[in-house]
Structure 1
Amino acid sequence: MKNNRKICFMLLFSCCLLLAPLTASALAMNDAISIAGQQRMLSQRMVKAYALVGQHTMLSVSAVKQMDDTIRQFDRNLEQLVLFAETPKEKKVIGKISRLWFAYRVSAKQSALLHFFDRRVPG
């Protein structure tokens, strides 16, 4: 049940990123749309890695590495999206997304590490 909540949260979070209004020049808007699409893909990758580790079908070391790499890329992309926000409304939406992400980020890293150490510690 707890895992289902995390998966639902990630899917909703992805939708928020795609629907977040961003304004900028035409070229910058295309970049923002591309980055938002990457964010959706990255959030799906995090959920996949989490699910595979939970089912014990993915090596813990590679899952933790994939989770860390994905989180790092998500952070970089989010920083770029913050720069695109110009109006107070856009800044408010991106601020909300950032707060949601940083709360989830802690949970995602902890989950990956806990599964890693659960598999490594004998007994």
Structure 2
Amino acid sequence: MKRYLGVVCLIVCSVLALAVAGTASAETLTVNAAINKAGRQRMLSQRMAKAYCQVGLGVEVERAKRILEQSVALFDKQLIDLQAFAPTPEIKNTYASLEQAWASYKKLLSGSDPKLENAMTIARMSEEVLKLAQQGTVQLERFSGTTTAKLINVAGRQRMLSQRIAKISMLRAWGITSPQLTQELDTAITEFTAAQELLTAAPQNTATIRSELQLAGSQWLFFKEALSQTGVSRAEQLRNIATTSERILQVMDDVTGMYERALK
């Protein structure tokens, strides 16, 4: 029971921390903060699809509904902030395109209770929104042109990969399978591992960042264990995937914020 309460507390703190992370106004946004927010949009594109599938599968339903609702609201707010901040016409165009893609995705996410017949469309739209959110993040990184911007981008992308891996796992559990989806899952796991090695070796790391990256490494092991777990019911495995994906997300969100604040 204590362990369960600990997991619940951690996930609640995760949701609150991510909500707080999106509260800085566009007027006070630095380029580092903009890169962080832009990268968080990538994560949210995948997290919302994951939560949608969780509700449809009956996995941590009430918590998944809260995650979905809060993620939609945070995406809306951050999109406004990023559109206001966009420093070049090219970046403004990216966020105009993202606004259009997001409108369709949001409508389906919020329109009705999750249904299997909509899951494929949700998966496709999550990819469209992810592509544009990635484009905006890279453009902002290039605009900054600093090593710090690169680290914020890479660390922030780990948040997305944690949710992408969980999203694909939920889709497969719902019966949506294909060789492409399997390849995407394998690629996301490989990319997460490689990026974590890059971050760990970064000479700019402070002692606090190094400690947090060690914690991320431990959480990553728990997450991978959940992905390949045997000897438990499917329902229990999916719960474990859901909770461990939230834990690694929170740690990497903290790391990204540390890069944003410490390496100016």
Q: TM-score range by the shorter chain?
A: 0.5 to 0.7
1:88-119 deviation digits (Å, cap 9, x = unpaired): 22221110011111111111112xx4139xxx
Q: 4+ residue runs of structure 1 moved beyond 3 angstroms?
A: none
Equivalent residue letter for 1:89: E
1:47 positional shift: 1.6
User: Alignment partner for residue 44 of structure 1, among 31, 43, 46?
Assistant: 46
Equivalent residue letter for 2:88: T
Equivalent residue letter for 2:92: K
Normalising by structure 2, we get a TM-score of 0.31
Given that 2:83 and 2:95 are in contact with CA atoms closer than 8 Å, whether structure 1 keeps it comes out as: yes
CA distance in 2 between partners of 1:42 and 1:89 (Å): 23
Equivalent residue letter for 1:92: N
CA distance in 2 between partners of 1:107 and 1:58 (Å): 21
Q: 1:95 is paired with a residue of what secondary structure?
A: helix
After superposition, where does 1:53-68 map in structure 2 within 5 Å?
Answer: 53-59=55-61, 61-68=62-69
Q: Is 1:78 aligned to 2:79, yes or no?
A: yes
CA distance in 2 between partners of 1:41 and 1:73 (Å): 11
Give the equivalent residue in structure 2 for 1:115. 114
Q: 1:40 is paired with a residue of what secondary structure?
A: helix
CA distance in 2 between partners of 1:28 and 1:45 (Å): 25
Q: How many percent identity over aligned positions?
A: 36
Equivalent residue letter for 1:51: C
CA distance in 2 between partners of 1:48 and 1:37 (Å): 17
Give the equivalent residue in structure 1 for 2:31. 29
Equivalent residue letter for 1:105: K
CA distance in 1 between partners of 2:84 and 2:58 (Å): 39
Give the equivalent residue in structure 1 for 2:106. 105
1:83 positional shift: 1.0
CA distance in 1 between partners of 2:91 and 2:43 (Å): 22
CA distance in 2 between partners of 1:44 and 1:33 (Å): 18
1:51 positional shift: 1.8
CA distance in 2 between partners of 1:37 and 1:88 (Å): 19
Mind listing any 5+ residue stretches in structure 1 that lack a counterpart? Answer: 1-26, 117-123
Q: 2:60 is paired with a residue of what secondary structure?
A: coil
Equivalent residue letter for 1:114: D
CA distance in 1 between partners of 2:102 and 2:77 (Å): 12
* RMSD, aligned α-carbons: 2.0
Q: How many residues align?
A: 87
1:42 positional shift: 1.7
